Structure 1
């Protein structure tokens, strides 16, 4: 065990925050899973807890394995993984899976283990690495928009187009994160404005197509529109049931909460163990618990920025920002949805919500960040060794 901890490298603060969030997640997941057991009739609370534990154990195995990979290896891996991701997205969308008449082509089932896998989460991580690699390649060069269309924007828009029909919120987050990464990587702002205009145009065409041919993407566009309408103008539309129950849960929690496992709204709030788990946390642990969770995500953001700033190579800086920021951004969106500061999106709370793919891909991204921080620490150690070396000794050794 001692040897195992000696092999753990990278930013210790990130390890600590991730471990604390993962350990805390057992309490709300166990509590909120009673909704799946007694309301939906799916399994047992102990079964859901054991499944969550297994997913987290595998996730930490991913972190440990990935953080041992040298950062520069991810350049080549992204080139190999991008075609694979595109094929998986095509296969996922082609399944035409529906749930209660609505298009839900987000998952593929892994036959050997029985789990479902959401390919868009893998695509988002791979795409951010790919974009970071390209921005590093063109760094300090005069950027020509036409030359960047095929190697940069074609893969980006292919990924977005394949994700959009079944998962608008994920596609929008990926698009925003790519734009942010390109801006930080020095891509000209005038070109980015053109890309934003192109994205809005393609989204408009998609909505018009879905309206003209309703059977092509059942209910998805109508769901988006109803969520946005209920968010901006709740008086003219029927209040969203999920948001209503989430706000009741938060109001019930007060300052210190009702206590662990004592949530009442978990029995009425759909997706209480995943999309709306933050509302259950606030109900059981109050504003103190809610702000504590927010603090740890902001601490994670701070350490990600520290790692990026300490990286010596442009690729490492962009890589850390590209895969690290979406974790915190997704967490903030999840919390904002629960308090009705944002329309309902279906985004989980990283490392806390139940669900296999989201946990694994979050752990993959954290492993990449830790790989970069490990490289930073090794460079600092080498630099300190050189500083401590006596120049006369070096000179005499050379003679």
Structure 2
């Protein structure tokens, strides 16, 4: 009987806005994917519905599992993460210049890098919780850094710079929450940013070699000047800006957009789905979607703040960092204020691996939320 009492802690407002995002995904996809496969206009909507329904089972399973018990499997999960990421390099299938998927059947593949974000949150949370009060010196930061660096390098080798950046964002946020000396750790973060900025300047000004692919460097050039190559490397962002700008205040209307409907805008059902929101539903539609995200994130922050222990707080803030970074980068790149990185819009963009990873992350938040107070009887 006492087990049922934990459901009194359930954050129903979090669940409401979580459900609104899932509903918005199907609604937006019903127009964004209409002409991706002209012979089957609802193909991606149906598949997304499958990912959502099965994902809800995953949410319930993760939420029902006491998050504290996950700590027993930290190193097993860390090992599984490394094995999956390494497997991509050997047996992964390639598409559009990247090797990120492991084929399961002729039509179904999984993208381990999507689940790697969740694995690193879970394992790093335990790693840092055990070092509570011991993150005061510069040398104390080395072990957590190496802990994250190994899977990060495997992701970067795919190559997947966007997900690598997500790892960095998660690491920085979780380190601060874990109690890393803010002055010392903050100076390291700031110093790293300055070094990266200097390296980029030296590359473009003096040809300094960088460990980046040509297309990744091209994206940085296009970010600085989208008009430099509107038919080549800058095509995606140019079409996206046109789509969002043409929507005006109220948008062109449901299924009345031209950039997506006539396939001028690439990847408009995945990475650039926010552009369809801007074009067809205008500024009002875009702001409404961002408002839903805002409440969803604020409730997630509330869950983190009410966690019963540091481990739960680290899990929650890691998930929040992942969601926030995804939203900021995706909306930023589709609007032309961030470089194109191929990061999907969480809980909205089409994709089975992406959706399941995000759903599992939401389930983890609910697990922490349900157990925010220890039962007394």
What TM bracket, shorter-length normalisation?
0.7 to 0.9
Task: Quickly say closer, same or farther: Cα 1:234–1:212, change in 2 above 3 A.
Answer: closer
Q: 1:249 aligns with which of 243, 247, 254?
A: 243
Q: TM-score, normalised by structure 1?
A: 0.82
Trace 1:40-189 onto structure 2 (pairs within 5 A): 44-95=40-91, 97-99=93-95, 102=97, 104-111=98-105, 114-141=107-134, 143=136, 146=139, 149-150=142-143, 152-165=144-157, 166-189=159-182
Deviation at 1:35, TM superposition (A): 3.3
Q: Measure the CA separation in 1 of the matches of 2:127 and 2:148.
A: 12
Q: Measure the CA separation in 2 of the matches of 1:355 and 1:73.
A: 29
Deviation at 1:44, TM superposition (A): 1.1
Q: Tell me if the contact between 2:278 and 2:285 (Cα under 8 Å) persists in the aligned partners.
A: yes
The structure that has the greater radius of gyration is 1
Q: Measure the CA separation in 1 of the matches of 2:357 and 2:83.
A: 18
Q: Measure the CA separation in 2 of the matches of 1:82 and 1:287.
A: 42
Provide the aligned C-alpha RMSD in A: 3.1
**Does the alignment pair 1:262 with 2:256?**
yes
- Secondary structure of the 1:260 match is coil
Q: Tell me if the contact between 1:179 and 1:192 (Cα under 8 Å) persists in the aligned partners.
A: no
Q: TM-score, normalised by structure 2?
A: 0.86
Question: Residue by residue, what CA displacement relative to the aligned partner does 1:65-115 show, whole Å, maximum 9, x if unpaired?
Answer: 111111202222332111011011111022364435x2x11111123x942
Which ranges in structure 2 are unaligned for 5 or more consecutive residues?
none
Q: Measure the CA separation in 1 of the matches of 2:112 and 2:187.
A: 28
Q: Measure the CA separation in 1 of the matches of 2:317 and 2:7.
A: 25
Task: Quickly say closer, same or farther: Cα 1:198–1:87, change in 2 above 3 A.
Answer: farther
Trace 1:1-399 onto structure 2 (pairs within 5 A): 10-38=10-38, 44-95=40-91, 97-99=93-95, 102=97, 104-111=98-105, 114-141=107-134, 143=136, 146=139, 149-150=142-143, 152-165=144-157, 166-189=159-182, 190=184, 193-194=187-188, 221-238=213-230, 240-266=234-260, 267-376=263-372, 378-379=373-374, 382=375
Q: Measure the CA separation in 2 of the matches of 1:50 and 1:221.
A: 35
Deviation at 1:140, TM superposition (A): 2.6
Task: Quickly say closer, same or farther: Cα 1:37–1:8, change in 2 above 3 A.
Answer: farther
Task: Quickly say closer, same or farther: Cα 1:195–1:110, change in 2 above 3 A.
Answer: farther
